[in-house]
Structure 1
Amino acid sequence: MTGADASSRDTAERVAAVPAADPLTPADRYQELFQAVQRTRVFPDGKTFVDCIPRQDPQRILERYRAQQHRDDFKLTDFVHAHFAEEKAVASHYTSDPDQSLKAHIDGLWSVLTRHPHEHPAGSSILPLPNDYVVPGGRFREIYYWDSYFTMLGLVESGRRDLLATMADNFAWLIDHYGHVPNGNRSYYLSRSQPPVFALMISLFEERGLCKALSYLPQLRREYAWWMDGTDDLRRGDAHRHGVRLDDGSVLNRYWDDRDTPREESFLEDETTASRSVRPAHEVYRDLRAAAASGWDFSARWCDRADDLSTTRTTAILPVDLNSLLYIAERQLARLSESAGRREDAADFASRARARRDAMLRWMWDEAQGAFVDLDWQHGSRRELVTAATAAPLFAGLVDDDPRAERVAATVRERLLAQGGIATSEVDSGQQWDSPNGWAPLQWLAIKGFARCGQQALARDIAQRWLHTVGSLYQREGKLVEKYVLTHDDDGAHGGDGGEYPLQDGFGWTNGVTRRLLHEDPEHPAHRACARSRRGT
C-alpha cells in the first residue's frame, strides 16, 4: 500500500467515525428553559449556556424543568448548574517564555489553539469534525470560517502543514455535509455562513504544494451554488436569500441568515436591541444575524444611524468585500472547470465574473470619494461610509490596470491610515468594527490589494505599522489579541475596545497574519520584541 493510499484510507476512516451532531440548536432543544436562562442572565455571557454540555439526555432535562419550574423552592441557577456543565477551556501546559521572540511565541501557540475530534462532548452544540483544527482562542472554542483562512497564512510559515491539511479536509467535509461552511462549527451557526474564503484557501493549498486545487472543485461549486441559490429566477428589484437582482438586471450578493429570531449566543442583547426599534422585531433579528454573517459584528457600516444598533439594515446592503470574494470564487471556478475539461462551465463562470465586475464598477465605485463603497439596494444609493473594505476589489483583482486603484490608495492614506495600520472605518460608534480599532484580516486584504495594484509603498507602510502595533503589545503584555487600538500612547499599543464581549486573547487570525508579515519583512523591529525586555527583568 502506498503512502497516499494509507492517507486516503485514514481520512475515510476519520470521516466515517464522526459522531452525529445534535440536529437541534439550543433554543430549539430547550425551548422555554433556554429563554429563561438567557433572559435572567444565569451566565454573564450568553454564549456560555449555548456551549454548555448536558449532564443527561436533553429531552429529560427539559421535562424536569417543566415539572419543577413552578415549585416554591425552585431556583433556576441551581437547576442549570445541576443539569449542565460549562465547557471549560482546554487544559494546556503551555507557558509563554518571556525571552521568546514574537515569531517563536506564535509558533508555540498553534498546538495550544488546536482542538481534536475526540474532545467533542456528546449532546452539546458543537458540530463534530473529522480532523484536528485551530480555534481563535478565548471564548471562541470552535472554528470560524473566515478567521481560519488568515490563521492558515501563519500555519504555512510556521511549518504546520499537518494542521493545514486537516483543516482543508474539515472545510471540504462541512460543505459536503451541510452544503456550505457555517459561521462556525456550532449548531446555532448553521443558518448562516461568513465571508466566503474557501477559494482563497484552496489557492493557498495549491501554492504550498499541499494538494491540487482541482480536487476541491466539487466543494467550491457546491458552496457557490449555496450563495447563489434562487438568483437565476429573480426579477429586477427582487431578492432571495443571498442574492439581489438590481434594476439593470445585474446580480450582486448580500449577507443573510435563514433565521429571523435572536441570535442564540446573544439572545438578550438582540431582544434589547429590537425593543428600541420601530421595525418589526423579526426584521431587526434577521439584520443582526446577517451582520454576524459578515464577520463585521458590529459596525456603523450596517446602520442607518451610527449610534443606534437597532437601525442595522444589513440585508438591505450589498457589501463590496463580499462581492469581491465571490468574484474571486467565480474566476477560480472558471479556471478549475477549464482544467477539468468542463469548457461550458468554465465559460459560464467566466461570464458571471465579468458581469459581477461590471456591476461592481457601475454600482459600488464612488467617483467623488475615490473609493469603493457598499450599495443600499433598497434605497438605490451608495453608502457614504468609507471603510477598510474599499481595498477588497484591489485584493480581488478588479482594477489591476485601472487608475481607480491609485484613487483608492490616496483615499486610504488621507482617511483611513492610522498610526497602527489601516482603520476599520472613520466612525467611532462604540462598536468593535469601527474606529479606533484595527483588525488583522483587514490589514492583510489592504496590504495585498495595494501591492497587487502597484502601490507597494502604501502596502509596506501598512504592514510595518501593523507589525509595530502587534509587537508593541506583545513586548508589554506577552500576548496577541483579537483587535487593536490603532492610536498608540506612551505605553505603545493597546487591545481594541467595544462590542458585546471583552477583548479576547489568542488569537488565531492575528497570529496568522502577523507570522506571515514577519516572514515577509525579516528586518522589522518586531522580530526583536520579547516580553522580558519591556519588564526589565
Structure 2
Amino acid sequence: MMPRPARLRPLVLWPLLALLLQAQGPVRDLPPSPANIYGPLFEAVQEAQVFPDGKTFADAVPREDPAAILAAYAREKPRDKVALAAFVRRYFSVRGESAGRPPLRAHIRDLWPVLGRAPFAATPGSSALGLDHGYVVPGDRFQEIYYWDSYFTMLGLKADGQGPLIEAMLANFVALVERYGHIPNGTRSYYLSRSQPPFLALMMDLSEDRDPALARRRLAALVREHDFWMTGASCLDGGGACAHVVRMPDGSLLNRYWDARETPRDESWREDRETAAKAAPRAPTLVQRDLRAAAESGWDFSSRWLADPMRLETIRTTAIVPVDLNSLLWIGETRIARRAEALGDQATARRFAAMANRRKAAIDRYLWVPGERRFADWDRVAQTPTAARTAASLFPLFAGHASADQARAVAATTRAMLIGEGGLRTTNIRSGQQWDAPNGWAPLQWIAVEGLGRYGEQALAKEIARRWIATVARTYRETGKLLEKYDVEDRRPGGGGEYPTQDGFGWTNGVTAAMLDRWPDLTPRVDAAP
C-alpha cells in the first residue's frame, strides 16, 4: 500500500510562504491596518471593549479623514467607555447600527403620525387642557401643544402637504384664545399664567382657508391676543412697567416677558425653590416670577436673562425689553391691520398700523446699537442696551422692519460671531444653560435663514441651512433620532439645562423639512436618490 503524503504537505508550505513575502518586501510596505492608522484611539476603543466583538471597530468606516478624526480625538480626550462610544459613532459608520434606516426626509414624513394626537376632553383633576381638534406634539417629555414650537412644526407640515392638520391646529389655537384670552405656554393648567412668543399671525399665513366668516373669527382672535400682551398699558405706574408692558424713556410703549404668577413652576417646583433660595436676600417671589418669564420667552434658560452669566439665581427677565418679542408683536400689528383692511374694517386697520409704526420707531431708537452692528435687548433698570450678543438680533430681519443698512450690519455681525461649524449659535457665552453656546436650536436657524434671505443675504442664509442640515443628518445617522437641540460647535447632540435633550422633535423636523424643501441640493449625500 502506498503512503499518504498529503497530511505533511501544508506544513512544508509555511517556509515557502515566508520566503515569498520576503521577496515582495517588508511588512511595513503593506497598507496600514486600523491599529496602525488610529493608534491610541484604536487601542482605547479595544481596551474599553466599546464593542463586544473587536472586529466591529476594526471594520468601521471613517466618516472623515483619519487625520481629522485623530485631531478631534486629541482635542476631545474621551476617557470612559460611554464617551468613547459616542466619539466612535460620531466619526465612524459602524456595521449594523444604521442598516435599514430610512433617509432623513422620509423619516420626518413618517414621524408626523407618531407625533400626532387626537382631540380629547379634559379629565377632572388632570392638568391637560382639552382640545377639539387634532394636533402635533414636540415629542418625548413634551406631550402637549406648545405655542411657539407649533409654528416651526407647521412649516414641516406645510412642506409635506399636511394642510388639514395645519387647519386643525389653527382651530385649536383660536379656540384657546377665545377660551382664555391668550394662547398658554402649553396646553396644561399650570401654563395658563403665561404665553410664549406670539406666532399666531404667522401661523395663519400658512393657512389656505379663505372662508370670510373664518377670517373674521381669526382676526378677532389676533386682536384679543394683542390685548393680552398690552393689558399692562392701563396700569403703568412710576416704576414704568406693568404686566407685559414697559414705558420707555420717551413715553413710547414696548413689551417684556412676564408671568401672572410668582410661585415656583409646577413642572419645576423643586428646581425653582432651590434657585430662589440661592438668590437671598432677594425675595423668592421675584426670582420665581423671573424664572416663569424666561419660560414664557422660550429661552429657558439663557445668559441673556442673567446679571451674572454663570449664575441662574441672578435671573432678571422682567427687567429686560426683548427684541424678539417686540418684532413678533410688530408682525402681529401689521397682520391685524392688513386683515382688517381686507375685511373692510378701516378703523381697526388704521389703529393697528399706527401701533406698528410707533413700535418700529421705539425699536429703532432703543434696541438698535449702530456702533456694534446689532439689535439688542434693553435693560430698563440700567436704561441701556444689554451686552448680550444673541441670535435674537436676527428677529427684526425676519419680521421685515429692519432697514437695508441695519440688515447688512447684522449679517456681518452674525457671520463674525454666531456661525458655528454646525449652524447658528444661540449666544457666544458658555454658561451651561441650554439656550447658550455651544447649542443651536431649530427655530433660530429658521429665523436667521428667513431674515437674511429677505434682505438679499442668500449665500449666508443657505450656508447656515447647509451646516444645520449636516448636523441634523449626522446625528440622525448615528442615533436614528431628531433632537430638540444640537451642539453646533462639535456637531453632536446638545446639552445643558434642567432636563435631558429630548427626542422627537417637532420643530427640528419642521425646520429641516422646510429647508430641504427650499434647497433640495442640500439633501445629505446618503439620502440622495441614485
In 2, Cα distance between the equivalents of 1:451 and 1:408? 13
CA gap 1:220/1:527 in 2 versus in 1, 3 angstroms: farther
Could you give the per-residue CA deviations for residues 44-79 of structure 1, whole angstroms, max 9, x where no partner exists? xxxxxxxxxxxxxxxxxxxxxxxxxxxxxxxxxxxx
Q: Does 1:295 align with 2:293?
A: no
- After TM superposition, give the deviation of residue 230 of structure 1 in Å: 3.2
CA gap 1:139/1:479 in 2 versus in 1, 3 angstroms: same
Verify the 8 A CA contact 1:437 1:497 in the aligned structure 2. Answer: yes
Pick from 322, 346, 350 the counterpart of residue 347 of structure 1. Answer: 350
Verify the 8 A CA contact 2:235 2:242 in the aligned structure 1. Answer: no
- After TM superposition, give the deviation of residue 454 of structure 1 in Å: 1.2
Pick from 316, 335, 338 the counterpart of residue 313 of structure 1. Answer: 316
Verify the 8 A CA contact 1:102 1:528 in the aligned structure 2. Answer: no
Pick from 509, 522, 525 the counterpart of residue 524 of structure 1. Answer: 522
The residue number in structure 2 matching 1:6 is none
Could you give the per-residue CA deviations for residues 206-235 of structure 1, whole angstroms, max 9, x where no partner exists? 4x8799755410100100001001315635
In 2, Cα distance between the equivalents of 1:148 and 1:445? 14
Instruction: Report SS of the residue matched to 2:492.
Output: strand
Instruction: Report SS of the residue matched to 1:484.
Output: strand
Amino acid at match of 2:343: A
In 1, Cα distance between the equivalents of 2:468 and 2:216? 35
Pick from 511, 514, 519 the counterpart of residue 512 of structure 2. Answer: 514
CA gap 1:236/1:393 in 2 versus in 1, 3 angstroms: farther
Instruction: Report SS of the residue matched to 1:341.
Output: coil
The residue number in structure 1 matching 2:19 is none
Could you give the per-residue CA deviations for residues 414-470 of structure 1, whole angstroms, max 9, x where no partner exists? 000111111000100000000000000000000000000111111111111111111
Pick from 220, 233, 236 the counterpart of residue 234 of structure 1. Answer: 236
In 1, Cα distance between the equivalents of 2:496 and 2:466? 25
Pick from 406, 410, 413 the counterpart of residue 411 of structure 1. Answer: 413
Verify the 8 A CA contact 1:165 1:210 in the aligned structure 2. Answer: no
In 1, Cα distance between the equivalents of 2:147 and 2:386? 26
In 2, Cα distance between the equivalents of 1:236 and 1:450? 39
Alignment of 1:99-498 (within 5 A): 99-118=101-120, 121-206=123-208, 213-232=215-234, 234=236, 238-277=240-279, 278-399=281-402, 401-488=403-490, 493-498=491-496
Verify the 8 A CA contact 1:101 1:527 in the aligned structure 2. Answer: no
In 2, Cα distance between the equivalents of 1:257 and 1:298? 15
In 2, Cα distance between the equivalents of 1:480 and 1:210? 36
Q: Percent identity, aligned pairs only? A: 51
- After TM superposition, give the deviation of residue 402 of structure 1 in Å: 2.4
The residue number in structure 1 matching 2:23 is none
Instruction: Report SS of the residue matched to 1:497.
Output: coil
Instruction: Report SS of the residue matched to 1:244.
Output: strand
Could you give the per-residue CA deviations for residues 296-345 of structure 1, whole angstroms, max 9, x where no partner exists? 00000000000100110000000000000000000001111111222122
- After TM superposition, give the deviation of residue 476 of structure 1 in Å: 1.3
- After TM superposition, give the deviation of residue 119 of structure 1 in Å: 7.8
Could you give the per-residue CA deviations for residues 335-391 of structure 1, whole angstroms, max 9, x where no partner exists? 111112221221111111011001001101112211001001122111001100000
Amino acid at match of 1:309: L
User: Considering only CA atoms, is the larger Rg found in Structure 1 or Structure 2?
Assistant: 2
Verify the 8 A CA contact 1:217 1:333 in the aligned structure 2. Answer: yes
- After TM superposition, give the deviation of residue 237 of structure 1 in Å: 5.2
Instruction: Report SS of the residue matched to 1:487.
Output: coil
The unaligned stretches of length 5 or more in structure 2 are: 1-97
- After TM superposition, give the deviation of residue 117 of structure 1 in Å: 2.3
Could you give the per-residue CA deviations for residues 73-101 of structure 1, whole angstroms, max 9, x where no partner exists? xxxxxxxxxxxxxxxxxxxxxxx983311
CA gap 1:335/1:109 in 2 versus in 1, 3 angstroms: same
Verify the 8 A CA contact 2:483 2:501 in the aligned structure 1. Answer: yes
- After TM superposition, give the deviation of residue 202 of structure 1 in Å: 0.5
Instruction: Report SS of the residue matched to 2:371.
Output: coil
CA gap 1:152/1:209 in 2 versus in 1, 3 angstroms: farther
Verify the 8 A CA contact 2:120 2:131 in the aligned structure 1. Answer: no
How many residue pairs match? The answer is 430
Verify the 8 A CA contact 1:103 1:527 in the aligned structure 2. Answer: no
- After TM superposition, give the deviation of residue 264 of structure 1 in Å: 0.8
Verify the 8 A CA contact 1:195 1:293 in the aligned structure 2. Answer: yes
Instruction: Report SS of the residue matched to 1:181.
Output: coil
TM-score by length of 1: 0.78
Verify the 8 A CA contact 1:195 1:295 in the aligned structure 2. Answer: yes
CA gap 1:237/1:280 in 2 versus in 1, 3 angstroms: closer
In 2, Cα distance between the equivalents of 1:471 and 1:119? 38
Instruction: Report SS of the residue matched to 2:520.
Output: coil
Verify the 8 A CA contact 2:176 2:182 in the aligned structure 1. Answer: yes
The unaligned stretches of length 5 or more in structure 1 are: 1-95, 531-537
- After TM superposition, give the deviation of residue 494 of structure 1 in Å: 1.2
In 1, Cα distance between the equivalents of 2:369 and 2:211? 40
In 1, Cα distance between the equivalents of 2:99 and 2:258? 44
RMSD: 1.9
CA gap 1:213/1:391 in 2 versus in 1, 3 angstroms: farther
In 1, Cα distance between the equivalents of 2:229 and 2:426? 25
Verify the 8 A CA contact 1:236 1:249 in the aligned structure 2. Answer: no
- After TM superposition, give the deviation of residue 528 of structure 1 in Å: 3.2
In 2, Cα distance between the equivalents of 1:408 and 1:129? 41
- After TM superposition, give the deviation of residue 527 of structure 1 in Å: 6.2
CA gap 1:239/1:116 in 2 versus in 1, 3 angstroms: same
In 2, Cα distance between the equivalents of 1:502 and 1:144? 18
